[in-house]
Structure 1
Amino acid sequence: MLSLALLALAAGLAAWPAAAGRYRLPGLARRCVPVEPDRRWLPSPPALPLVLVAAGAFGAVLAGAGGAMAAAVGAATAAVRWRSGLGRRREASAAAGLVEALGTLVAELRAGAHPAAAMEAAAAGVAPGAAAALGAGAAAARLGGDVPTVLRRHHDPALAPWLARLADAWALGQRHGVPLAELLDAVRCDAEQRVRFAADVDARLAGPRATAAVLAGLPVLGLLLGQAIGADPWQVLAATAIGQLLLVLGTVLICAGVAWSGRITASAVPS
C-alpha cells in the first residue's frame, strides 16, 4: 500500500500545472523585440527526481526492492536519452535556421543595404535563437559597436560554433576591407554543407540506433518467452534474493549498453 501511495503521489506531482499565469502579460509586452520564447508557456517535462520516484514505486509494486532499483535505473537512462535526442534536434534546427538567416543577410548586403538593416531583415523570419543573435548584432552595428564581440557573447550553445565563424568573418571584413557579402556567403556555404552532411549522417545512423534498441529489448523478450513456456523466471527475479540481484545487475548492464551505443552514434555525427 505504501508503494501504491508513493506512485500516486509522484504521478500527481508530475501532472501538477506550472504556475505560469503571472508571466503571461510580461511575455505579451516583450513581443516587439526578437527574444527567446518564454519556456514557461510550454508544458515542462517532469523533473528527473519525480520520474525516478514514480518508476521506483512502480518497480517496487512489481518486484520489490530490486524492481525499484532496476526501474529507477531504466527510467534515468530513458530520460537522459530523451533529453539527448531533444538537444540533438534543437541543434540541427538552430543551425538550419541560421543558414537561412545568412542567406537573407547576404542577399540584403548584395542589394546595397546597410549591415544593420541587413541583419534586421535576416532576423525577421527565422527561429528565435538566431533572431536574437542577429538582432543583437544589428543593434551593435547601428550604434557603431563591436559586432563580432556581440555575436561571440550570445548565450546559445546550439549556435555558438556557427556564430563564432560569423564573427570571425565579420572581423576579417572590418580589418581588411573585404566585402562582407562575399565573406558571409562563404560562411553560409560552409554552414549549409556542414548541416546537410550532419543530417545525412544522422539519417544513416537510424539503422544502428534501431539495432541497439532491439538488442536492449532482447532480455525482456527472453523473460516473456520464459513465462510463456511455464519456466516462471519472473517469480525467480521478484521473490528470491539472487533473482533481485540479477534483476538489478541485468538492468544496469542493459542501460550501460544503451548509453554506450548512444555515445558511439552521437560521436559519429559531425558538429
Structure 2
Amino acid sequence: MTLLLLAAALLVVPSAEARRRLAGPRRRVRWKPLRPKRVHAVLVGIALGLPVGVGGVFAGALLAATVWHAYRETTRQRDRLAASAALADGLKAFVAELRSGAHPAKAAMGAAQDAEPPATDVLRAVAATSARGGDVEAALVDFPDARQLARAWRLSAVHGVPLADVLDAVRRDFDRRTAFAEQVHARMAGPRASAAVLAGLPLFGVVLGELSGAGPLAVLSGTAPGQVLLVAGVVLICAGLQWSGRLTRQVIA
C-alpha cells in the first residue's frame, strides 16, 4: 500500500517545466551600462587638449570624436550579435513548444518567459498578434532583428509549410550567422591591435623626444607651425583609424 501511494505521489508531482509555468513569468532585473555620448567624449578631448593651445583643442576634439565613433560601432556590432543569439535561443524554445502541440500564441508566450531581449519583445508581439488572429508579419515590422522570422511566418501561412520546420530553419540560420561573426571577429583581433599600435606610434615618438631632451611639446604647443602640424597629424591618425575600422567591420559584416 505504501509503495502504491509513493507511486501515485510521483505521478502527480509537477515537473520542472510545469512548476515554472505555474509560478508565472519571472521578473529579471537587467542593468543597462551607462554609455557615453558624443558630446561627452568631445568635451573630454577639448579639456585634454586645452593646455596645448588652440590646435590642441581641435586635435583633442577630433581624436575624441573618432574614438567615440569606433566605440559606438563596436557596441552596435556586439549588440547585433547578442540579439541574434537571443533570437536563436527564443526560437529554439518556440519550436519546442510548437512541436509539443501548443498553439502558436501559447507557444510564443511560453518561450518569451525565459527569453532575453530583444527576443522577449518579439515573441510577446507574436503571441499577442497570433492570439487575436492578426497579421504577425505586420506586427514584426518594428523589430528589424526579426525580419527573417516575419518572412518565415508568411511562408508558412501562404504555402502551408509547417511553422515549426520553418522557424527551426530560421533558428539554425541565426546560430550559423552568429558563430561565423564571432569567429571572424576573433580572427580580426590581430589587425585591430596592429592598427591601434600604429595609431599610438606618434604619441610614443613625442614621449621619446621629450625624454631625449628634444622638446617636441614646446614646438607643438608654442609655435604656429607646431599647432598646424599637431592638427594635421591628428587628422591623419583619425583617418587611419576610420579606414582600418571600416575595413574590419566590412569583413565581419
Deviation for aligned residue 1:43: 6.0
Whether the 8 Å contact between 2:91 and 2:168 is mirrored in structure 1 is: yes
- Give the Cα–Cα distance (whole angstroms) in 2 for the partners of residues 193 and 45 of structure 1: 29
Aligned residue for 2:179? 196
Alignment of structure 1 residues 69-108 onto 2, 5 Å: 69-108=58-97
Q: Pick from 49, 52, 60: which aligns with 2:50?
A: 60
Deviation for aligned residue 1:44: 4.0
Give the counterpart letter for 2:118 in structure 1.
G
Deviation for aligned residue 1:175: 1.2
Deviation for aligned residue 1:48: 2.2
Aligned residue for 1:15? none
Give the counterpart letter for 2:211 in structure 1.
A
- Over the matched positions of the two proteins, sequence identity in percent amounts to 47
Q: CA RMSD in A?
A: 2.0
- Structure 1 residues 107 and 46, CA gap change in structure 2 (3 angstroms): closer
Whether the 8 Å contact between 1:34 and 1:135 is mirrored in structure 2 is: no
State whether structure 2 residue 244 is matched by structure 1 residue 256.
Answer: no
Deviation for aligned residue 1:66: 0.8
Task: Report the number of matched residues.
Answer: 229
Whichever of the two has the greater Rg, that structure is 2
Alignment of structure 1 residues 133-172 onto 2, 5 Å: 133-151=122-140, 153-155=141-143, 157=144, 159=145, 163-172=146-155
Whether the 8 Å contact between 2:25 and 2:113 is mirrored in structure 1 is: no
Deviation for aligned residue 1:108: 0.8
TM-score with structure 2 length normalisation? Answer: 0.85
Aligned residue for 1:111? 100
- Structure 1 residues 260 and 191, CA gap change in structure 2 (3 angstroms): same
Unmatched segments (≥5 aa) in structure 1: 1-31
- Structure 1 residues 166 and 42, CA gap change in structure 2 (3 angstroms): closer
- Give the Cα–Cα distance (whole angstroms) in 2 for the partners of residues 49 and 148 of structure 1: 38
Give the counterpart letter for 1:136 in structure 2.
A
Unmatched segments (≥5 aa) in structure 2: 1-23
TM-score with structure 1 length normalisation? Answer: 0.79
Aligned residue for 1:48? 38
Aligned residue for 2:9? none
- Structure 1 residues 139 and 33, CA gap change in structure 2 (3 angstroms): farther
Q: Pick from 221, 226, 239: which aligns with 2:209?
A: 226
Deviation for aligned residue 1:266: 0.4
- Runs of 4+ aligned residues of structure 1 deviating over 2 Å after TM superposition are 32-35, 41-51
